Structure formats: C-alpha cells, structure tokens
Amino acid sequence: MERIAEVAKVLARHTQEPGIFPSEVPRLSLIRGHEPTEPMPAVYEASLCLIAQGSKRVAVGEHSLVYDPAHYLVVSVDLPLVGHVLEASPERPYLCCKIDLDMAALADLVVAQRGPDAPAGVPALAVCKSDAGLIDAVNRLVGLLDTPGDIAMLAPLIEREILYRLLNGPHGPMLRHIAAGDSHLRQVSRAIATIRGAFDKQLRIRDIADAAGMSESSLHAHFKAMTRMTPLEYQKQLRLQEARRLMLAEGASAGSAGFAVGYDSPSQFSREYARLFGAPPRRDIARLQGQEAQAVA
C-alpha cells in the first residue's frame, strides 16, 4: 500500500477543492471529494479509474461494483453509469485518477503481444485487484505533474506500460477484444458512437445495427451482454442525463430540456426522469441546487 499512498499524496497536492480536473498529462484526470455523495449518473468513457484514497460504487442497471485503493475499475466502452462516493471527508478526501484508454496505442500493443480472447458475454465493466506493477506505473505517471518538463517525453512511455499491464491483467482479454477491428465489442462500440452522436433523434434499431455492421438480433444480444442494457435503454439514459445537465447548469425548464433531448411528451419525460433519478425534474433539480448551496455556505 506504500505506492498507492504516494499516489494519494500527489493527487492531494494537485487538487485543493472537490471536483474533476484535467491535467497537463494527456488523458489523465484528477478527482477529489470531501464527502460521500448521492448516486449520480454520468457517461464513463473507456478508461482506467484508480482510487488512491476512499471508495466508490458504480452501477449499470441492477449490476453494481465497488472499488477502492486495493481494486481498480476498467471501463472498456463508453457507458452511462450511476456512481457515488462511499468514503470521503475533508480530513481524508476521496482521491482518484482516471486515465482514458488510448485505443490506437492499445491496438498496437495487441498486435505486438498475442493473448487469449475474451469469452462471449463478458461485460465491458469490471473491477480487478490492483497489483504492485500497475500501481507503480500509475504513480510514475501522476508523479510527472511535479516535473512538467518531463511530461512530453516520459508520459507516452509510462502510459504504454500501463496499457501493457492492463492487457496482462484480469481484464486483458476484454481489452484485446475491443482492440480487434472485427470483434463484437468493436462493433458494439460503433453502435454506441452512433447513439451518442444522435441520442436526441429518433433512432431505429435497424439503422444502429447497419452502422455497427451487425444484424439486429446480434446487436441486441451483444449490446446487452456487454452494457447490461438494450440500445434504446442506452439512448434513454443519455437523453435523461443531458436533460438534467441542461436544467442544472443552464437553467432550462423541464419542458424545454425534455424537448431538447428528443421527448415529444412532457408526461413521458417526467415519468422516465423520475424512474432514473428518483424524483420528478423540478424536485430533483431543487434538491441538487440545495446541496450546492450548502456546500458553498
């Protein structure tokens, strides 16, 4: 645990307030929290999330996972997840780093190093036990924030090592699967990109399947096996998350937010919003704004 404690010290030095912060190191973000949070939906890009202090739960559908300094999270495709910090305080804040996966570099490593394929039906979200080699590499990557002049030369080398260690870890077969151009996971990734690019439009399963290069039945089966939701359920989550952002960050009304993300029926929007967030739009936004006011006070 000595190495993970060093990662925590670097993250603490470079984050003074709660929030998510991009860094000078490409694809590296720093995250800090001072208190446990309520479940909050967000789209997680394909990434490695390593907690240096505290713990967090993430869920997709009815499936939930907890990770902490002894376990890292790997997301293989962009997923709308619900996450909440479990352990955090001002004296001992939640500290996490997120490294977005460079798919080009990952594919290059896969070509150079053969390995086992992922078995059918393996989900694109996993928590794995941390190992000393991976933590050491992450420690050296975040440590570059203390010597920014070294970032351009050393960050790509350390990032490649991190990808190498992930490929040789428990989730390695799934990462090899997504890096393969003709894999079902790569096809599902194309379907996800299609949905994300037009989530506010009326999408037909046939069109999504065509974009992915799959039959409709194959798309449905593999999409649900990997994301634990259907393509249309995935689209619905994206719509509702964006509507929430519009109301909270831009002051949009419930009616205009619902219309902006593709809902024609205000009652359907309110019903589906409450099902995901636990309260109708106005009540949910008022609660979130109240929490923000308490945090500032």
- What pLDDT score was predicted for residue 121? 55
Number of domains in the chain: 3
Same domain, 19 and 68: yes
Answer whether residue 267 is part of any domain.
yes
Which helix (H) or strand (E) segment holds residue 129: the answer is: strand 125-129
Pull the structure tokens for residue 236: 């619905």
Answer whether residue 234 is part of any domain.
no
Answer whether residue 34 is part of any domain.
yes
Answer whether residue 62 is part of any domain.
yes
Same domain, 93 and 26: yes
Q: Specify whether the CB–CB gap between 178 and 167 falls below 8 A.
A: no
Same domain, 17 and 34: yes
- What pLDDT score was predicted for residue 1? 64
**Residues recorded for the chain:** 297
Same domain, 138 and 195: no
Burial of 268 (0-12, 13-18, 19+ CB in 10 A): exposed
Low-confidence residues in the chain, pLDDT < 70:
1, 113-122, 179-183, 291-297
Same domain, 22 and 162: yes
Answer whether residue 71 is part of any domain.
yes
Answer whether residue 131 is part of any domain.
yes
Same domain, 165 and 216: no
Taking every pair of C-alpha atoms in the chain, what is the biggest distance, in angstroms? 55
CA 117 to CA 112: how far, in whole Å? 15
Same domain, 163 and 109: yes
Supply the CATH number for residue 89's domain: 2.60.120
Same domain, 261 and 119: no
pLDDT tens per residue across span 187-212? 888 899 899 999 999 999 999 999 99
Q: Residue 262 carries which DSSP code?
A: T
Same domain, 137 and 55: yes
Same domain, 152 and 17: yes
Same domain, 38 and 116: yes
Same domain, 152 and 175: yes
Supply the CATH number for residue 247's domain: 1.10.10.60
Single residue among 137, 154, 179 that ends a domain in this structure: 179
CA 15 to CA 39: how far, in whole Å? 22
Answer whether residue 59 is part of any domain.
yes
The model's pTM: 0.80
Domain that holds residue 273: 239-296
